[in-house]
């Protein structure tokens, strides 16, 4: 099967074509520092061809949810070194996903500061988890052009910090309604300056950020995650095929490690302008390796690889609940079911106590 075949990503040989997708777990300290349990969590899943970490805050301002890790100070970098060293000792490859939540946050999590965004438009119809329970979203502060440049510099610094921490590369989280995605979408970006108003301008923030990170850490170490059809966090595009075609063409000019596409389902009746399959629509436009994501099983993942567009399939909750997922796929073994009550926050329960096959069979 193609799932179990080795491949090359970013100059690294991967043992298989199964990636561990980034998943927020909220097990860091209040200061964004990961601990021994996080080291074990990732090393337990080192049989993945590629590990992509949970989203990591690039700055204090970037933080939107409690107990999420950072990579913007010395203590945080040193803590991540423990993770990367342990993963590398077991033969793994690990990328850091870099995160700025933008308007997907709350002042209760940000020391009283309001979230920032391309435009002063609040998320409606959802609530955000805070230290005081679910809260309605606040209207964010619209970023000035100068503030945008500072955030791009924060991404660059975070990429440098990630390499210092021992990561093999970085992935820009430009999906699922977070800050880069907010710049891409008309529903959250109503600017009239160089960062809004046209497809090219809405793409600018992402492209400038990617360019700065490539300049900082070199070729084949920078990747990006995109979700052209996700409507979560009030994200909508009027012409995603046109806009993301331009974006993929521009990304072709950069020496990237891969492009990670979330193939998110949507309401066909409500969004008839959306492509039915983002991997097929946009994956064909690039020479970069494609990582396909969103609800794949062993069978559907293999079928996706057989099409010849995607080079890897990323699995989220399946890897969360099955640290030895490749072995379970190989043997067609029963899968552990994820405990959704322990996904976000808590202690080691539902984090590092999911059984391996060897433990199940004893």
Residues noted as catalytic: 178
Strand-pairing partners, residue 97, are 55, 171
* Whole-number Å distance between alpha carbons of 148 and 24: 25
Tokens 């099967």: give the residue.
1
* Whole-number Å distance between alpha carbons of 152 and 204: 11
CA 7 to chain centre: 21
Of 303, 310, 329, nearest to 318 by C-alpha is 329
* Whole-number Å distance between alpha carbons of 303 and 316: 18
Of 151, 173, 298, nearest to 233 by C-alpha is 173
CA angle 290, 58, 258 (to 5 degrees): 10
Give the tokens for residue 177: 């309604």
182: enclosing H helix or E strand: helix 179-184
Greatest pairwise CA separation for the chain in angstroms: 63
């Amino acid at each position: 099967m193609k799932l179990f075949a080795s491949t090359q990503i970013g100059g690294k040989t991967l043992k298989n074509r199964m990636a561990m997708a980034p998943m927020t777990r909220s097990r860091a300290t209040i200061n964004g520092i990961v601990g021994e349990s996080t080291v074990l969590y990732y090393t337990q899943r080192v049989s993945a061809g590629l590990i992509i970490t949970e989203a990591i805050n690039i700055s204090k301002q970037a933080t939107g949810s409690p107990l999420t890790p950072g990579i913007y100070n010395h203590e945080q970098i040193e803590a991540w070194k423990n993770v990367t060293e342990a993963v590398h000792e077991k033969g793994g490859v690990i990328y850091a996903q870099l995160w700025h939540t933008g308007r997907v946050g709350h002042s209760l999590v940000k020391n009283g500061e309001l979230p920032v965004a391309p435009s002063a438009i609040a998320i409606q119809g959802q609530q955000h988890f805070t230290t005081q329970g679910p809260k309605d979203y606040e209207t964010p502060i619209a970023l000035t052009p100068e503030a945008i440049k500072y955030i791009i510099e924060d991404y660059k610094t975070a990429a440098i910090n990630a390499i210092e921490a021992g990561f093999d590369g970085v992935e820009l989280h430009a999906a699922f309604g977070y800050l880069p995605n907010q710049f891409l979408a008309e529903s959250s970006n109503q600017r009239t300056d160089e960062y809004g108003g046209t497809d090219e301008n809405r793409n600018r923030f992402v492209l400038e950020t990617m360019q700065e990170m490539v300049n900082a850490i070199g070729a084949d170490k920078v990747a990006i995650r995109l979700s052209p059809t996700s409507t979560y966090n009030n994200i909508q595009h009027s012409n995603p095929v046109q806009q993301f075609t331009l974006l993929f063409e521009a990304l072709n000019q950069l020496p990237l490690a891969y492009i990670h596409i979330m193939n998110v389902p949507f309401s066909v009746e409500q969004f008839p302008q959306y492509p039915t399959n983002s991997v097929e629509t946009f994956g064909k436009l690039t020479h970069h390796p494609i990582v396909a994501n969103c609800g794949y099983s062993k069978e559907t993942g293999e079928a996706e690889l057989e099409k010849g567009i995607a080079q890897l399939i990323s699995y989220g909750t399946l890897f969360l609940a099955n640290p030895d997922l490749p072995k379970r796929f190989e043997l067609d073994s029963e899968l552990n079911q994820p405990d959704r009550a322990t996904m976000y926050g808590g202690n080691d329960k539902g984090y590092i106590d999911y059984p391996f096959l060897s433990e199940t069979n004893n």
